[in-house]
Amino acid sequence: MLIELLLAVTLASAFVVFLAPDRYAAKLATTLSVLPIIGTAIMWLSFDASGNALRDGSTIAFETQQEWFELGQYTLQWHVGVDGVSFPLLALTTVLTTLAMISSWTPIKEDQSQFYGFMLLMETSLIGVFVALDFFVWFIFWEFVLIPMYFLIARWGGPRRKYAAIKFLIYTNVGSLVMFIGLFLMVLNLDGLTVLSLPAITEAVLAAETLGEISLLGIAAFDVKAVVFLLLFLGFAVKVPVVPFHTWLPDAHVEAPTPVSVMLAGVLLKMGTYALLRFNFTMLPDIAVQYALVIAVVGVISIIYGALLAMAQRDLKRIVAYSSISSMGYVIVGLVAFTPHGMGGATFQMVSHGLISGLMFMTVGVIYNATHTRMVGDMGGLFDKMPYTVAIFIAGAFGYMGLPLMSGFAAEVLIFIGAFESAVITAAPLVTAMAMFGIVLVAGYLLWAMQRTLFGEYELETDYDLGRAPVHDIAPLVVLIGLVILLGVNPDLIYQVIQDAVSPLVDEGLATATVAVDVLGGVLR
């Protein structure tokens, strides 16, 4: 019942903060947000899962499975639990939420009880996404995340906040609708399925050689599995986001207050890659293997195009926002490699990017609090004025570039090794080399931005008295950079449990690839 307790405490904390006076809301919400961290730490000390929750039900940690109600022929269940894929993301959610709240103390001055209440409500929904093992429960949490995020952007964002919030809501809702259609097209073609439990759906899909064909306006027939894979991929690609479904992200980041940008980049984007791993690459590995090269190319395009877009920006927040698109491209390449280090590195990258992107957005926020500008051309010589903040910004930027002994380096190296060794990606070495070129672009625009804003002569024309940032602004940065270095020095803190969870998926992908090669060989003979 630890998961239920975690959800209940977080949800109750949200309502307590909603009712609290504004003058107490910030400290109260931050204190209450520590409780989920404590709960997650207790769970980690007794975590004993050794496989994938969707492939082997006996490996689910902290599992609860209880019938809920009947919906036609299906029995809906309250089914929750974690494995080596979901647990690190659960921990990331709880840690980032608390740090984001501390970083809110300076910029958030109005309607604080509502702001912090929505932050805790969003945390509840995010926890639910990563622990739900029934599709109905998972979809409720998945959609509910949109509500607090919409209000956080629309109420406390920048001048174009309403436009950015509505654009975010429309894009992600359309993506959810496409995904929903895809999943129920799959479910309705599974004979004998009576529950919507994700492990049960996975077992049924893997056992079925085919789901039949579907006609499009009576003109052509398509393999249902391929159509389902495409619909799921498109639906989740919006959330990742993958190019060309990325245009909502920069607007949302720029207009959102800094703490919300931290949660958006640090956790919400991982919902998309997590869902791709759970649905596309776990339930439909045969289709993923069949179109591995196409998917890898999509990932490479996101890496390079996202980096090029970042290079063209002058707003520090937009630079970091477009960097996230590039970073998520690495996750796509790693997942489709179907190798231990490819899939394991992709999952590790989800956690690593959550920490580094959160660090970068917080640092930009601290600079903005002091200078009231984010434009690269308006600043210069900040190192002498804000030495601690700038030092952490530099460290975070080098983490993005993949500096050794930092988590970004470990994640990218694992992905590159896994992609290079892939047996399912055609011309895997070439695809890997193209993905690696993204690092050069990342280094280029980050070094350019740092040189223009952090060094040289002080150029900012302002009446604001710059100096050392408050301790409560610097403390979350120190914690994040510490975690980035800790995972870089010792990746096995989470990588071993990740490997245990992705190994069954690798085996399934390689088996599918072997069958495909054997069939092709028979045809050629």
Please state the domain count of the chain: 1
Q: What is the pLDDT of residues 225-260, one digit of tens each?
A: 899 999 999 999 999 999 889 889 989 988 999 999
Q: For residue 406, tell me if it sits in a domain.
A: yes
Q: For residue 29, tell me if it sits in a domain.
A: yes
Q: Would you say residue 516 has pLDDT above 70?
A: no
pLDDT given at position 215: 59
Between 57 and 339, name the one with better pLDDT: 339
| Vertex 335 angle, CA 331 and 341, to 5° | 95
Sign of CA dihedral 132, 133, 137, 140: positive
Distance of CA 383 to the CA centre of its chain: 31
The partner residues of 222 in beta bridges, in order of sequence, read: 214
Q: Would you say residue 517 has pLDDT above 60?
A: no
How far is 79 from 129, CA to CA, in rounded Å?
12
Q: For residue 521, tell me if it sits in a domain.
A: no
Q: For residue 523, tell me if it sits in a domain.
A: no
Q: For residue 299, tell me if it sits in a domain.
A: yes
Residues 6+ apart with CB under 8 A from 148: 118, 119, 121, 122, 125
Residue with tokens 């929904």: 125
pLDDT given at position 524: 34
Q: For residue 17, tell me if it sits in a domain.
A: yes
Q: What is the pLDDT of residues 380-421, one digit of tens each?
A: 778 777 888 889 999 999 998 889 999 999 999 999 999 999
Q: For residue 227, tell me if it sits in a domain.
A: yes
The pTM of the full predicted model, rounded to 2 decimals, is 0.93
How far is 293 from 297, CA to CA, in rounded Å?
6
Residue 369 belongs to what domain range?
2-516
CB 76: neighbour CB atoms within 10 A?
A: 17
Residue with tokens 């029934």: 134
The partner residues of 70 in beta bridges, in order of sequence, read: 75
Closest by CA position to 170, among listed 260, 251, 267: 251
Closest by CA position to 321, among listed 241, 421, 441: 241
Q: Would you say residue 474 has pLDDT above 80?
A: yes
Closest by CA position to 113, among listed 22, 31, 34, 28: 22
| Vertex 242 angle, CA 368 and 245, to 5° | 85
Q: For residue 525, tell me if it sits in a domain.
A: no
Token pair recorded at residue 517: 């090669």
